[in-house]
Amino acid sequence: MFVKPRSIQVICLTIWILMLSGCNGGAAALPSQTPGATQTAAATETPTPPTPSPTPEPLALRVNGEGIPLAEFQAGMEQIRAAAQALGQTLSPEEQRKRVLEDLTGQELLAQAARSAGFEVSEADVQARLEAVSASLGGADALKDWLARMGYTEASFRSALRRSLEAAWQRDQIMASVPASAEQVHARQILVFTEAAAQQVQQQLKQAGANFATLAFGYDLSTGGDLGWFPRGYLTQPAVEDAAFSLQAGEISGIIKTDFGYHIIQVIERDANRPLTPEARQALGQKALKAWLDEQRQNAQVEELAP
């Protein structure tokens, strides 16, 4: 909730009254020559107009004492509404508000960390980014129209661009901290949708001695359930990943229940230090970024001011 500043008119009126009081007091103390002369001087004296106090820019957030303008929040709301509409999604105003505030908070936390690390964005960097945005929108006139629709001035948009460049640098530092290689396993799975079906598969493997790979192709004709090589933290189902890393090459797991169904996996190979694929390293980088942001949010002082 905003605490509205006193209006400029009220502030100016107060200053004006104080100035008049000072002038009157001064006039009474002056030596008078004649009553008429004194009255004429007092009547013709013009006080200096007060200087208006600048109106503070409305803020949407304050993160560790650093303010984020309301204009950036409003622009984010416009963008998320347009994106949701383009994707055919329905988001409530509160969901939109929450996502925009979370995004702005995360960006500011990243930017603050970049500045603390000594990273600096030059005016040339901001100008280059501004020109790139202008070109992507179709030129200077299109950029001007877009800024007006989003509620930006050029100055406030430059500030937002500077923060985004700082945040991008810090994000890249975090994601680059993921090592190029890691312990990995190569596994395949059989996935069914009922526990009874999983028990039947288990019986075929244990009692009938069925070959896992041959049986797996019966449930997945395209890949035979091959999960490929993966490190810890890569699979979307941690229970499957935990089971895989607990097995040695050639071993078969028990039945693993997840949101997708019932899994039985076989580890084909293990490697204590295998190079990560670009996809795996990207996924681990995103996970590291999320963990970093979660920790920063827990320790940050965040004040939401947007209505």
Please write the tens of the pLDDT for every residue from 225-276.
999 999 999 999 999 999 999 999 999 999 999 999 999 999 999 999 999 9
Residue ranges of the domains in the chain?
1-56, 61-177+299-304, 182-274
Cβ-contact 252, 264 below 8 angstroms:
yes
Q: Which residue has the higher pLDDT, 206 or 25?
A: 206
**Stretch 11-21: mean pLDDT, rounded?**
31
Q: What are 208's two structure tokens? A: 């009938």
Enumerate the β-bridge partners of residue 257.
Answer: 262
If one compares 34 and 226, the residue with the highest pLDDT of the two is 226
CATH assignment, 182-274: 3.10.50.40
Q: How does pLDDT run across 111-154, given as a tens digit for each residue? A: 999 999 999 999 999 999 999 999 999 999 999 999 998 888 88
Q: What is the CATH number of domain 61-177+299-304?
A: 1.10.4030.10
Phi then psi for residue 150, to 5 deg, are -80, -10
| pTM given for the model | 0.74
Task: Look at residue 155 in the predicted model and tell me its pLDDT.
Answer: 87
Domains 61-177+299-304 and 182-274 fall in the same CATH topology: no
Sheet holding 262-275, edge to edge: 226-231, 181-192, 262-275, 256-257
Q: Helices marked H in 117-192 — which ranges?
A: 123-137, 140-150, 154-176
